[in-house]
A = this chain, B = another copy of it.
């Protein structure tokens, strides 16, 4: 029986929609297209939400890992 690692969870979420929350409270909802060990993350077809309101639609966004608090597969 193998032990799972946190990045396995992100790996399974590739090409699926995820919610990413930043330290500044913003949320980004989009398709997870890439990440690395620093948790630098790229989303596609993205909605930015602030306090639950959609504030912007973005084709592609690169998020620097150290600004991310959590990532939820939908």
Which chain A residues have a beta carbon within 8 Å of chain B's beta carbons?
Answer: 3-10, 14, 22-24, 33-36, 39-42, 58-73
Contacts and interface: CB of A to CB of B under 8 A. Distances in A.
Contacts of A36: 5-7
A60 B72 CA distance: 6
A72 to B, nearest CB: 5
Contact of A22 (B7, B69, B72): B69
Given A22-B69, A23-B24, A4 B62 contact: no
A3 B64 CA distance: 19
14 contacts: A3-B14, A3-B34, A4-B33, A6-B34, A6-B35, A39-B40, A39-B64, A59-B72, A60-B72, A61-B71, A61-B72, A63-B69, A66-B66, A67-B69
